[in-house]
Structure 1
């Protein structure tokens, strides 16, 4: 089965009954991505998620790394990582949040084929693992835009050779 392009839509942030939800504030520095990867592996193993844990850890690393490199830290000099399982499909939602409400060239990033074009990097991995990439602004309780959340949704199982 050839890789498919990621969907480029605004994400619905609400999930009524998420499975194994977890949230981590991560210091916004060059170690944030690897830190996200290290946190994901044991959590998903503990949660008994049926998907590819190494792929999910890599995607978490890339989402968080992009939030640090291309976003803006949240108060406290952090970015956040949130992960949860979707109860109906057992897909995995991985979210990174930062304080920059824009995502320049999102359509270009999200609609990749998943086929290597040179050295693979960044959010290309989401498409390569047959995931969907979405984003939306985040707002405070008063409705003021305070940043963005980028979400990758990965399938629980895939029979590909990745």
Structure 2
């Protein structure tokens, strides 16, 4: 029986994804945060003010669950909510100075952990992984 490379690629991708996820969750936890908290703050930290819907789509947290996480981050004064003056249904989120200061401290350390995950992988191989996984992701999305 011939080796099924698609199946093998799928299994290897899933195993690698799980290992990367576990390592990043552990790192985030070492900073006293949960992955969902970090994901929201990181999105606001790098992209600036966004609507709750935009955040929900970018960090892959359902709109039902995200409200709970946002409430906790708001109580800790790490982000603020503001109503959109043009659309009463839209609510903007923005990282506070306190949240930015915390991310200024945490994010470079987190980025270093990610750099270490890819240590020894050439820039060319990283570019190939990015290109291939984008193609796979787009094909999978088309089948939904």
TM-score over 0.5 (shorter chain): no
Q: Which of the five TM-score ranges fits, normalised by the shorter chain?
A: under 0.3
Q: What's the TM-score once normalised by structure 1's chain length?
A: 0.23
Q: What's the TM-score once normalised by structure 2's chain length?
A: 0.25
Flag the structure with more relative contact order, 1 or 2, with Cα contacts below 8 A and sequence separation at least 6: 1
Larger Rg: 2
Larger helix proportion, structure 1 or 2? Answer: 2
